[in-house]
Structure 1
Amino acid sequence: MAPISKETGENLLSSPKEEAAEEFERQQVQYEDLTVDFNDKLIDFSKQFCHIYSVRLAELKAILIPRIIAKWGKVKILKLAELEDFEGQQCVIVGTLYKHQKWKPSILHELSEDYQLTLPELRSNYCSEKDQLFLEDEMLRIRLLIEDAEMKNYVTGIVCAILGHKEKDGNFVVKEWCFPGCVPKSSLTQLKSKGKLLFLSGLDLANNSKSLSLGLLTEWICGMAGNAIVQENATCIVQIIIAGNSVKTVTKTNTLMGHAEGKAQDAAIANEVAVATTLLDVFLAEIATCCCITLMPGQHDPVNAMLPQKPLHPCILPLTSRFESFKGATNPWIGKIAERVIMGSSGQPIDDIIKATGATDISPLDWLERTLFWRHMCPTAPDTLPVHPYSVKDPFIINYCPDIYFVGNTDKFETKLWRGEENQVVRLICIPKFSSTNLAVMVDIETLDTEVIYFGTSTP
């Protein structure tokens, strides 16, 4: 041990000097919810789901026509009923893609399984070698001839224009594609606000409530962890956006092992959800005292399953719902924070696209980017993704160019600064599940730079 001098020893024994603790104030920024198209007044359960395809095609077709002329010049734009007279001639057809897949979820399949007429087959996706691609307009449907390797790039529900020609056998040979493209920027206003946004998803309090990482996260947000520099960095956060699955990340969790199927398991699930929801309320209430929160529901949270999912009811979160700093949001959600348009989902639209394509070599970030080109947040709805039966308007058509576009509950963190043809700049983000990665994503409002913060107890 190194010797201690008399002077050093006196310093160690002396009483600490009283230093004034630094105080940091969290900045307040403008907040606006842009999900007016998710209004319940537009939902009519007496209507069939086909109406949503009709209004989707009508709106996006009007956007496609000038893009077709700009891309291919003066080319014939025909309806499918007119192709009979132009066999073999190059032309453009506009419609909605339909991907015929034998293994897609079907109510008829579910009924047959209930009556044990066929044995259910567990599959990770809906794809097979017999998949076929069609294009539909208001009246007819035609089969598209494309390379087998290209089949994985398309899903049901995409509105597009196709350059090609009809063959004698009635099929349409595809030469080129044209999609609606990303929405142009409405205005390039100078940002007046500064600050950072914190993105979380997949908290899974049913299994993760006693996690040390969750405690570290709470202390860091509330400014009770780290030195003055760390605390000042935390106060830069002006909004926390939680993208779903805060209660659970899977339907059946480890705590339900050993319960028989039926009423016993249903009771165990209900009890587990109730306990986890109470823990979530306490967790959010502690954070809401010092920071603004936007909470989106997820696939396994106690809300309706059909998109757009409604916010968690205030009665479920009695402590948190009293705070003005807390905002319950829909899933998907669109909002404006400090002049930045933010849009995203808790993961279901991208997960369903991956199931429909079976493309393991294409990351969720790439699919997120493609939905910008398709100008639709969840094209596979209502084919394989449950949504409300909208008949007047398709609320999932992208009408804003987002500054930040995210998807929650992914297996890993990914990000990209995407630049469009008309000078659009969009920060794309895959937000990982916090319960399995202990990661949170912070985005600078001014520069759109991202930073990953790790709250684990071991090396990431």
Structure 2
Amino acid sequence: MEVDDSSEYDRKIVSFKDLGRFKLTERKYNDDSLNIYIARLNDLREDTLHKAKLKWTDYQHVEVSHLTLESSGRSYILIGVLYKDQRLKPSLLRDLSKELQLEAQPSNNYASVDDQLFLEDETLRVKLVGNHMDIQEVVTGLVCAILGHELENGTFLVEDWCFPGYYLKPSSVSSSLVEDGKILLISGLDLVNNTDEFSLDLLSEWITGMAGCTNVQKEEAAIAKVIIAGNSIRSSTKIFSHKGYHEIKSHDQLKIKEDVIAMHKLDAFLSNILNYCCVVLMPGEFDPTCNYSMPQQPFHPCTLEKSVRFKSMHGATNPWIANIGGRVVAGSCGGPIMDIMKIAGLSPLSSLEWLERTLIWRHYAPTGPDTLPIYPFFKNDPFVINEWPDIYFAGNMNEYDTKLVTADEGHAVRLICIPKFSETKTAVLVNLQDLTTQPISFGDRLT
């Protein structure tokens, strides 16, 4: 029986608009008129107070600075930014005081039973006490409403609390018409350390339609965008103790050489795909880009000499928001979620659950700038979530996980944890129309 392999399928094309939220047009470091925490509080105060009034209808809102004047044993609502005091957090001052004799810091867990929680606004900070809130399930930088009353020692006894909640106002970037097509999510190629070229070649052939039967090729043609969510060059970096200038210099030279080789490999991988499909490339925490702080800016065009010539190539920021085929797609390369899990290291919540929490907290990177390096914004906080994404992802997670969240008003968002490709050989296929997902394995075993 002869097999008809003459079928041809046109590559799906969908509308695309990068919203440019995190593109830095200028860089200023000398304006201290307003810090980012106050900007964050100003952005979310009204919505948080509205949520609190709906939850606690019979209680009055009081400013933190007026708490003592109003206090008479009654309960009040306070609005402010949470600060989590943790002795295990890295401290630059502590490191400098040891004159570069660096001791190993706990890199994966900053949490302890001695952690303390405070609430602050523009003027004052008050210590929060009580057993009605789980300190391990919050992080520094969250705008929060607290219900409780002041004790004689000046602390504030918490009776209940709430956060801004989902952003459910109609989005100016959403579209009622969702186009037919799929997107493929990949992260953590780690080309410096990933020696399994077979899985990478198979991924390339699958995307370009060079692998699989007719039915498989039909599915491949439906992929309108490939989104590579960070750490394409590296997925980690080792921290060495201070042993001398020459040893560190030698290590840096080796790292640069490895990065250059991996960058050429990435360029070749991308240029092959770009002949057939559009690619969005996001930088990751360990990728060699012009800035380490979030929002990371796109790879410099000079680093990808072949790929940059294609119109189908799009360099994106980290984090990133775009409209693809009528769907609002937002996400990061996983740095904010991993940092949250360090801060709340005693909590059993999964990375997917923390991803959902950031929607409720209405912030893409709440732990910045306390433990997550971010650019020093002064007049506004661009990381505040002011849209309801249809697809919300975090890259470089340890395993694939997904969930469809539906708010009371019926708005749905597909949460996705994209696994590290270098370890799992797995990418994630997402249908724009029904938001269904499918993990695609390119290794010798299913993940």
Fold shared per TM-score above 0.5:
yes
Structure 2 match to 1:152 = 136
2:295 counterpart (308, 321, 325): 308
In structure 2, what is the Cα distance between the partners aligned to 1:34 and 1:292? 17
Rg comparison, structure with higher value: 1
The match for 1:288 is: 274
Correspondent of 2:151 among 150, 167, 190: 167
Please tell me whether the aligned partners of residues 132 and 160 of structure 2 are also in contact (alpha carbons under 8 angstroms). no
Instruction: State the shift of 1:57 in Å.
Output: 0.5
2:417 corresponds, among 430, 438, 441, to: 430
1:411 paired with 2:398, answer: yes
CA distance, structure 2, for counterparts of residue 404 and residue 459 of structure 1: 24
Distance 2:7 2:122 in 1: 66
Instruction: Write the distance in 2 (CA, Å) between the matches of 1:351 and 1:368.
Output: 10
Q: 2:243 matched to which residue of 1?
A: none
1:318 aligns with 2:305: yes
Note if 1:443 corresponds to 2:434.
no
Alpha-carbon separation, structure 2, partners of 1:119 and 1:269: 23
The answer to whether residue 213 in structure 2 is matched with residue 206 in structure 1 is no
**Aligned amino acid, residue 84 of structure 1:** T
1:103 correspondence with 2:98:
no
Q: Does 1:383 align with 2:367?
A: no
**Letter matched to residue 403 of structure 2:** K
Match of 2:242 in 1: none
How much has 1:147 moved relative to structure 2? Answer: 2.8
For the 8 Å contact 1:225–1:231, the answer to whether it is kept is yes
Query: Which residue does the alignment assign to 1:357?
Result: 344
- 1:23 has 2:4 as partner: no
Cα deviation code 1:62-108 (max 9, x no counterpart): 22222222221242100112111314211100000000011112210
Q: Does residue 1:224 correspond to 2:200, yes or no? A: no
Q: Is the 8 A contact 1:200 1:431 kept in 2?
A: yes
Partner of 1:40: 25
Specify the SS of the correspondent of 1:234.
Answer: helix
RMSD (Å) for aligned C-alpha atoms:
2.0
1:57 paired residue number: 41
How far off its partner does 1:165 sit?
A: 0.7
1:127 aligns with 2:84: no
Q: What residue in structure 2 maps to residue 94 of structure 1?
A: 79
Q: Which one-letter code corresponds to 1:269 in the other structure?
A: K
**C-alpha separation between the residues in 1 aligned to 2:178 and 2:353?**
31
| Secondary structure at the counterpart of residue 94 of structure 2 | helix
| One-letter amino acid matched to 2:118 | F
For residue 255 of structure 2, what is the aligned residue in structure 1? 269
Q: Is the 8 A contact 2:307 2:313 kept in 1?
A: yes
Any idea what SS the aligned residue of 1:36 has?
coil
> Contact conserved, 1:314 with 1:321, CA < 8 A, in 2?
yes
SS of 1:199's partner is strand
Distance 1:20 1:162, change over 3 A: closer
Q: Deviations over 1:390-432 (max 9, x none)?
A: 0111010001100000000000000000011332200000000
Q: Give the conservation status (yes or no) of the 8 Å contact 1:182–1:401.
A: yes
Q: TM-score, normalized by length of structure 1?
A: 0.91
Shift of 1:47: 3.0
Counterpart selection for 1:75 from 59, 62, 86: 59
Unaligned runs of 5+ in 2: 240-245
Cα gap change, 1:146/1:406 in structure 2, threshold over 3 Å: closer, same or farther?
farther
**How far is 1:207 from its partner?**
2.0
Matched, 1:178 2:168: no
Contact 1:442 1:450 in 2 (8 A): yes
- More deviation, 64-73/445-454: 64-73
Quick one: which amino acid aligns to residue 34 of structure 1? L
TM-score, L = length of structure 2: 0.93
Distance 1:156 1:459 in 2: 38
How much has 1:263 moved relative to structure 2? 1.9
More helix by share: 1
